[in-house]
Amino acid sequence: MTHGIKIATIGGGSSYTPELIEGFIKRYDELPVSEIWLVDIEAGKEKLEIVGALAKRMIAKADLPINVILTLDRRAALKDADFVTTQFRVGQLDARAKDERIPLNYQTIGQETNGPGGLFKGLRTIPVILAICEEMLELCPEAWLVNFTNPAGMVTEAVLRYSKLKKVVGLCNGPIGIEKGIADVLEVAQERLYVEFTGLNHMVFAKGIYLDGQDVTEQVMNLMTTDAGKTVSLKNIEELGWQPEFLKKLGMVPIGYLRYYYQTSLMLAEQQLAAKTEGTRAEVVKRVEHELFELYKDEQLDTKPPQLEQRGGAYYSEAACNLICSIYTDKRDIQTVNTRNNGAIADIDPDSAVEVNCVITKQGPIPLVTGPLPVPIKGLVQQIKSFERTAAEAAVTGDYQTALLAMTINPLVPSDSDAKAMLDDLLQAHGEYLPQFNQ
Amino acid sequence: MTHGIKIATIGGGSSYTPELIEGFIKRYDELPVSEIWLVDIEAGKEKLEIVGALAKRMIAKADLPINVILTLDRRAALKDADFVTTQFRVGQLDARAKDERIPLNYQTIGQETNGPGGLFKGLRTIPVILAICEEMLELCPEAWLVNFTNPAGMVTEAVLRYSKLKKVVGLCNGPIGIEKGIADVLEVAQERLYVEFTGLNHMVFAKGIYLDGQDVTEQVMNLMTTDAGKTVSLKNIEELGWQPEFLKKLGMVPIGYLRYYYQTSLMLAEQQLAAKTEGTRAEVVKRVEHELFELYKDEQLDTKPPQLEQRGGAYYSEAACNLICSIYTDKRDIQTVNTRNNGAIADIDPDSAVEVNCVITKQGPIPLVTGPLPVPIKGLVQQIKSFERTAAEAAVTGDYQTALLAMTINPLVPSDSDAKAMLDDLLQAHGEYLPQFNQ
Amino acid sequence: MTHGIKIATIGGGSSYTPELIEGFIKRYDELPVSEIWLVDIEAGKEKLEIVGALAKRMIAKADLPINVILTLDRRAALKDADFVTTQFRVGQLDARAKDERIPLNYQTIGQETNGPGGLFKGLRTIPVILAICEEMLELCPEAWLVNFTNPAGMVTEAVLRYSKLKKVVGLCNGPIGIEKGIADVLEVAQERLYVEFTGLNHMVFAKGIYLDGQDVTEQVMNLMTTDAGKTVSLKNIEELGWQPEFLKKLGMVPIGYLRYYYQTSLMLAEQQLAAKTEGTRAEVVKRVEHELFELYKDEQLDTKPPQLEQRGGAYYSEAACNLICSIYTDKRDIQTVNTRNNGAIADIDPDSAVEVNCVITKQGPIPLVTGPLPVPIKGLVQQIKSFERTAAEAAVTGDYQTALLAMTINPLVPSDSDAKAMLDDLLQAHGEYLPQFNQ
Amino acid sequence: MTHGIKIATIGGGSSYTPELIEGFIKRYDELPVSEIWLVDIEAGKEKLEIVGALAKRMIAKADLPINVILTLDRRAALKDADFVTTQFRVGQLDARAKDERIPLNYQTIGQETNGPGGLFKGLRTIPVILAICEEMLELCPEAWLVNFTNPAGMVTEAVLRYSKLKKVVGLCNGPIGIEKGIADVLEVAQERLYVEFTGLNHMVFAKGIYLDGQDVTEQVMNLMTTDAGKTVSLKNIEELGWQPEFLKKLGMVPIGYLRYYYQTSLMLAEQQLAAKTEGTRAEVVKRVEHELFELYKDEQLDTKPPQLEQRGGAYYSEAACNLICSIYTDKRDIQTVNTRNNGAIADIDPDSAVEVNCVITKQGPIPLVTGPLPVPIKGLVQQIKSFERTAAEAAVTGDYQTALLAMTINPLVPSDSDAKAMLDDLLQAHGEYLPQFNQ
């Protein structure tokens, strides 16, 4: 890497790109990026040009020798890249809106990662990711694939099982958010905490919390369940509050997405209401994105606008740039990422993707052991893992029965007949993005 | 056991008793029972006397030297027993009706074994079972506890984890029923089949089916999903039919109870309708039982009346008497029972109860290995196991938070707030039978 | 199999053949064999004719419609066979004598199964077995391979890992011998016993002993360590006696072969002495076999001569014919065989061969769970398994380094330099039988 | 710990103490030690005073406010300690000499850690360590026990299984030595390396070697087996050289102690020769120590004399002080220590001690997953673990049979009868230090 670091960002026209650019600018001293290739497809060209121009202004302002290249030629971008990041969205937000709305017709939460909507996002995304892996093995075999694209757990699972590419990490800003939230609850600096995570992407739990080496897990659970109601949450999940006695006995801080599973009926009601009022999450985001791009067009703008954080991507840059930086500098710090289990969680298949604390070395993340899943969550976590594995298989094979099996075993889906109906509707709606099912 | 075999049946006043008596009569040549003690509590005295009189008439007709003793003195019944069978129901069918009706108020299936209703059945039953275990260790330490009382999986789990009694087996007529159903589907004699079961009580799957040593699993799946619609079912679960493509890819025959999980919305609608028309299952059974006891009163009756089979207990006698007979005679045949896992299912805790094929020897059941759970069912089975373990802990500790945790993680329960509301209602409704929660 | 059962016996010229013939004669009523093909190679033709003639006389005397065919054409023998048994010896007893004598030059026990000698027996045998598997997949894909050929554990491991043939069982008369020995020690009928075995071929332990359902393991250990010195042993292992306090705490009955590992120095001294006096085991056996074949030549002889039992093959017929009979009749009795672990022994790879109790069904053996290896034997058993796996790999690849690794990690081998010297000597001595190392 | 750090060093009169003192002096800026209590027993008083005086001179020279207290009162030393280090030797070097010489009478290597000598060192040491743990739970329950005392693996195993103290780490300078050796072989700075260790104390392997993130394991194996013969070794193990083909296929760098197992006959010959010439290792060390203490007496000496490094303790200070420093400062760097496995090595009991890479946090070491043991070493590592567990049990129970079992299953011991003879001789020789066996 003596040539300076080359980054290729697939889905470079995303509204998140300024986050990423800011991250690279901040870390330039230890992470001397020389080239950032922002790649997108024809349909995303306009956005790519807008956000690309902003990226260039940001770098110009920082006065750094980083070259930003905008391209529709993925192979050129991948050629000799050191790190490939993915933040693309097959079918864009309109597809996500369908993933959310169609299940609502069946009194079912869509949920774009671990729900029926996530199944379809996976079916659209995984073939593209696997194609990128193939190209990477040819064009930049030493590069790391840093995947942000949701469903990040299912995508990482698919790469681990169906690609020869070994250098893959799946990323989520969830664990960082939980850790920051816990620091807020305790009113301490985050640096004094050690938080042990276990689980899967969007199905992760803070199972042990240490402040200056002391186990304060119970104290945090107590603080989270007082009347004052300090809760740890992600901005893009509604704060509904947990039943205090439930949370105390659970003894772990669940990521906000767990509300889909432990508060299914409430979340469904919320989403049904939203669909009738401000729109589904995709529709809201679409408006936010539109506003963001309007801001981005401003040729005076040369920094990341604060409105971006409300988009839900807080800490995304932190997660991605920290990871890349730690790999590049062999920093050996601890980050929570999606990687091959290898026994870190004792009762999950060693070859599966899990979201756990890892030491980030130059040869990649090495998971820290976290033992067996606690009894109360053993089943639900395994259920999502079963779903991810079956969904990944369906994405690769294009087999209808496998897709139906994945849909039916998803814990949000009310019955096999609803599963079939939703599957058929969604296959119909997304046909153009699912060539493997049309053969 | 040179003295002839002594059986103690706890809950001897059950309408199932004639099944059991018939089973002992049929097997007398290899299983020379000399005493059957039918034990019940004061509230069940009348039923005990009715069914006990029938039992005596049945034995008199068979002209066998079996002594039937009716008693309310459990300790006398247990003293020097060789086998203890349990078929009691704490709070009787009225309690079960509450387990079924209260959850319906929250759009939730009650389900008396692995659902919220099952949690309460377990909370009422487990302390009684553990007390029986204590008495057995004192009064008949060499005896086997053959448990029919539901939730049989949770009860067996509780005995394995919280009692010193090692000689316990949990029984269900489900696997026998599936095997007979498969024989019907294939139109072959049951003896030519070998069916490999894996899972938990009421959460069990026929994962491999062999006819004369040939694997015919796929053939059975095909037959089950033709238009002709051959399905394998238990009489007391409505036949709703599976989505054929789902079942084919699943590749296993699920016990009918799986409909609660894979067809939740349909089953809920059915149960809501029933509650408004013929009543919940408990209420229907109560009427059936009333009719049965009217029949039993007939002093001319000296055989098991055919109406009993419609009660849902088909094969119960077969399951229990076969087990006792195989232990007594060291028969070493294969039966599907609930016992300590010890690695038979690779991804379930070795100390947990599982429902798998076992060789039945004089020293008890020895499980046959069945490998890891197939991917699609790994999560759901683990989830019910998590539920059983947490519920058993709640039953023993009487801890409110633990009960709430068990309720919330149950896959049929829609949210933690519904869980809390149902828990509170059910605790209120069953207060007299839950002393451990009233301290 | 309506055509009557066809048996193909590879190495049919073995002195053991009359055992096998007697076994089939005894079981004819339930196991109606119609053809026994005795196959051998050119070098074994004379023996084949002698023992084949005896076999024909035995069957004629029994007046059974079993056709015995002698042939050098292996493919003809395999064609449409129902069971294939193997009892051949690549390089015959002269090769075994080298396996025993060469290691003695390095103060090392040769040991033809799990020692350095066993490595070479495996290197010579495994390629032949794998070739037979290939032919079976082509000529009799439904047939079972019943392998007697030593080292039976390593051979079964090799078939499981390197062949597509699934229907393979490895057999040894050791467990039957231990069980009979225990019955003798207890002075009870063998039928009243249940003996739980765990381990590998020639590395197996009776870890639980039950008499009429009662655990009598400790009682057996006490009886085995009294002054009277009742010990359980195989005829072809010298009875050296165990240190009583060691055996009591071990709490299991080890197969006699364990003396090689727990009494290495004594066994070595014995073998060094024997090599100078009556010869190594191979040399003794060679004389015994010569005498047997002289007996076999007697045209008046039409039964298995009693001298054969002294050869060491007691119960061989029982082991093999019982297994074949139980598969054929779907008897579902319990036998101790070498088969795929699948979790029966918790801490051995599921894909490895183990020697455990199995139910023998028409679809093959299903292992009974036996939990983790007891702590004291966990290491040694794993060490032999590591040896078997590495040796099997060496046999298949013909890789010198792999063979040296297998030799060095064998617990009988004193050092890596001795390992190399022995390896070189043995490769030299057996060159003609090791084509895979000569490329 | 606002009071400044209090260190209690049990066996403070050891010749290693200047290493430790130097380590604390060097790290004072980040590890502000305020008190070092050097504890010893009456028999070690003279040495304690000599080395204690040197320690005080060293600190005086460094001009640091560290108070060195010499004491025979262990409880006073432990009171409110932050870290307790152990470097004592029950029975001193004379006892070790017996551990080495008595086995030689039976043609057996004594080996003071994982051999028969190690068994006795464990039997003498473990009761003392467990007593220290008890006192720590009373007097300094928040303190960490940093154990150097050999056999460090067996001692850590004993604390994990038989004490309530959770804060224990076992230390060895071996892995650091291997890593430095590998850096030498590659001629690179150690900082550029990442070395993945797996195994147990003195039974550890460098299974993966990364230089700047690239896997260079094979390259290292090649360099180690060239004619130039670069080998990685510890100073106190004779360099005998490995068979190159063996080492290449093994594919890991074994700690020098592995020569006891892979080169047993050579090591035995070396030790027998040494016993007749310069004496056993204990006897040589005794002379070296005598010379060291002569040096230490010199009142002009105020630094660690260079001769100490030849004693074999190179990197001891580094290992201990680095560990203490990383715990104190929550450094989260990676060190190789003995700690509870918890699944880091998939096929070793989660509750056992293993020697693996850990992140060192303020709440202690967290192991990094390293997957299953590679096949060739699976057996030997498990065998030593079986030995450690059985030996620890014998140390705690004082049971003769258990001690004999431990001795017999040790891979260096030639037979059960030799085991018994050695056991009896060693029990006789060490009677005064083994009160648990004299009851």
Which of D74 and C173 is assigned the larger pLDDT? D74
Question: Taking CB atoms and an 8 Å cutoff, what residues of chain B touch A109?
Answer: none
What CATH number is associated with residue A18?
3.40.50.720
Dist. CA D151–CA C246, nearest whole Å: 23
Dist. CA A424–CA D23, nearest whole Å: 69
Contacts of D178 (CB under 8 A, 6+ apart): D195, D197, D204, D206, D232, D253, D255
B303 in contact with A at a CB cutoff of 8 Å? no
Question: Taking CB atoms and an 8 Å cutoff, what residues of chain D touch C380?
Answer: 379, 383, 386, 409
Cβ-Cβ contacts under 8 Å between B and C: the total is 81
Count CB neighbours of C228 within 10 A. Answer: 9
Question: Taking CB atoms and an 8 Å cutoff, what residues of chain A touch D359?
Answer: 334, 359, 368
Which of C107, C263, C408 is facing D416, going by the closest CB pair?
C263
Contacts of C223-227 with CB under 8 Å at 24 or more apart are C223/C185, C223/C186, C224/C185, C224/C253
Out of A169-173, A239-243, C85-89, D376-380, pick the least confident.
A239-243
Contact C215 B344 (CB under 8 A): no
Do the beta carbons of residue A394 and residue A403 sit within 8 Å?
Answer: yes
Residue D350, min C-alpha distance to chain A (Å): 8
Residue C109, min C-alpha distance to chain B (Å): 36
A428 in contact with B at a CB cutoff of 8 Å? no
Torsion, Cα of C134, C140, C144, C150 (10° steps): -40
A351 in contact with D at a CB cutoff of 8 Å? no
Classify residue D75 as exposed, middle or buried by CB count within 10 Å of its CB (0-12, 13-18, 19+). exposed
C343 in contact with B at a CB cutoff of 8 Å? yes
Question: Taking CB atoms and an 8 Å cutoff, what residues of chain C touch D377?
Answer: 386, 409
pLDDT for res D237: 41
Do the beta carbons of residue A204 and residue A232 sit within 8 Å?
Answer: no
pLDDT for res A302: 93
Dist. CA A116–CA A102, nearest whole Å: 9
**Burial track C401-422 (b if 16+ CB lie within 10 A, e otherwise):** bbbbbbbbbbbbbbbbbbbbbb
Dist. CA B25–CA B34, nearest whole Å: 11
Which residue out of B246, B352, B422 would a mutagenesis test of the A interface target, given it has the greatest number of A Cβ atoms within 10 Å?
B246
Mean pLDDT of chain A: 93
Residue A87, min C-alpha distance to chain B (Å): 29
Binding site annotation covers C202?
yes
Binding site annotation covers A3?
no
Task: Output the furthest CA–CA distance in chain A (Å, rounded).
Answer: 59
Q: Return the closest-CA partner of residue D86 out of D138, D41, D25.
A: D41
Residue B369, min C-alpha distance to chain C (Å): 6
Count CB neighbours of D1 within 10 A. Answer: 13
Residue C425 lies in a domain: yes
Question: Taking CB atoms and an 8 Å cutoff, what residues of chain B touch C82?
Answer: none
Contact C210 B371 (CB under 8 A): no
Q: Is the pLDDT of residue A334 over 80?
A: yes
Which of A213, A333, A372 is facing D363, going by the closest CB pair?
A213
Q: Which domain holds residue A128?
A: 5-173+285-327
Contacts of C227 (CB under 8 A, 6+ apart): none
pLDDT for res D318: 80
Model confidence pLDDT, tens digit, residues D314-368: 677 788 999 999 999 999 999 999 999 999 999 999 999 999 999 999 999 999 9
Binding site annotation covers A150?
yes
Contact D375 C390 (CB under 8 A): yes
Q: Return the closest-CA partner of residue C383 out of D385, D257, A350.
A: D385
Model confidence pLDDT, tens digit, residues C27-51: 999 999 999 999 999 999 999 999 9
pLDDT for res A231: 57
Contact A379 B390 (CB under 8 A): no
Q: Which residue numbers of C are catalytic? A: 257
Nearest CA in chain C to B212: C362
Binding site annotation covers D438?
no
Which residue out of C109, C221, C238, C243 would a mutagenesis test of the D interface target, given it has the greatest number of D Cβ atoms within 10 Å?
C243
Average pLDDT over residues D193-205: 97
Residue A373 lies in a domain: no
Do the beta carbons of residue D243 and residue C419 sit within 8 Å?
Answer: yes
Cβ-Cβ contacts under 8 Å between C and D: the total is 139
Model confidence pLDDT, tens digit, residues C249-261: 999 999 999 999 9
Count CB neighbours of A344 within 10 A. Answer: 27
Contact D404 C376 (CB under 8 A): no
Residue C180, min C-alpha distance to chain B (Å): 18
Model confidence pLDDT, tens digit, residues A271-317: 999 999 999 999 998 998 999 999 999 999 998 888 887 766 667 77
Based on the structure, what is the number of domains in chain C?
Answer: 1
C 193-222: CB under 8 A from B: 194, 210, 212-215
Give, in degrees to the nearest 5, the angle at Cα A137 between A134 and A142.
145
Beta bridge mates, B85: B9, B146
pLDDT for res D228: 54
Residue C213, min C-alpha distance to chain B (Å): 4
Residue C225 lies in a domain: yes
pLDDT for res A228: 54
Do the beta carbons of residue D413 and residue D116 sit within 8 Å?
Answer: yes
What CATH number is associated with residue D378?
3.90.110.10
Contacts of A82 (CB under 8 A, 6+ apart): A1, A5, A6, A7, A140, A142, A143, A144, A328
Backbone angles phi, psi at D255, to 5 degrees: -60, 150
Average pLDDT over residues A137-165: 97
Which of C107, C266, C384 is facing D379, going by the closest CB pair?
C384
B249 in contact with A at a CB cutoff of 8 Å? yes
pLDDT for res C189: 96
Q: Is the pLDDT of residue A9 over 80?
A: yes
Which chains lie within 8 Å of chain D at 3 or more CB pairs, if any? A, C
Residue C380 lies in a domain: yes
Cα→Cα distances B116→A364, B101, B290, Å: 45, 11, 26
pLDDT for res D308: 80
B34 in contact with A at a CB cutoff of 8 Å? no
Residue A16 lies in a domain: yes
Contact C408 D264 (CB under 8 A): no
Question: Taking CB atoms and an 8 Å cutoff, what residues of chain B touch A414?
Answer: 264-265
Model confidence pLDDT, tens digit, residues A414-427: 999 999 999 999 99
pLDDT for res C283: 94
Residue C147, min C-alpha distance to chain D (Å): 25
- List the catalytic residue out of D257, D260, D315, D328: D257
Model confidence pLDDT, tens digit, residues C224-236: 887 555 555 544 4
Contact D375 C389 (CB under 8 A): yes
Q: Which residue numbers of A are catalytic? A: 257
Nearest CA in chain A to B352: A375
Q: Which residue numbers of B are catalytic? A: 257
Copy the structure tokens of residue A56. Answer: 């260039």
Task: List for chain C the helix, strand, coil content (%; round to 5).
Answer: 50, 15, 30
Q: Is D120 helix (H, G, I), strand (E, B) or coil?
A: helix
Model confidence pLDDT, tens digit, residues C324-366: 999 999 999 999 999 999 999 999 999 999 999 999 999 999 9
Question: Taking CB atoms and an 8 Å cutoff, what residues of chain B touch C359?
Answer: 334, 359, 368
C369 in contact with B at a CB cutoff of 8 Å? yes
Nearest CA in chain C to D352: C375
Name the stretches of chain B with pLDDT < 70: 1-3, 227-240, 311-314, 439
Residue A59 lies in a domain: yes
Do the beta carbons of residue B410 and residue B115 sit within 8 Å?
Answer: yes
Residue A290 lies in a domain: yes
Q: Is B327 helix (H, G, I), strand (E, B) or coil?
A: helix
D376 in contact with C at a CB cutoff of 8 Å? yes
Q: Is the pLDDT of residue D239 over 90?
A: no
Residue A9 lies in a domain: yes
A371 in contact with D at a CB cutoff of 8 Å? yes
Three-state SS annotation for A155-213:
HHHHHHHHCCCCCEEECCCHHHHHHHHHHHHHCCCHHHEEEEEEEECCEEEEEEEEECC
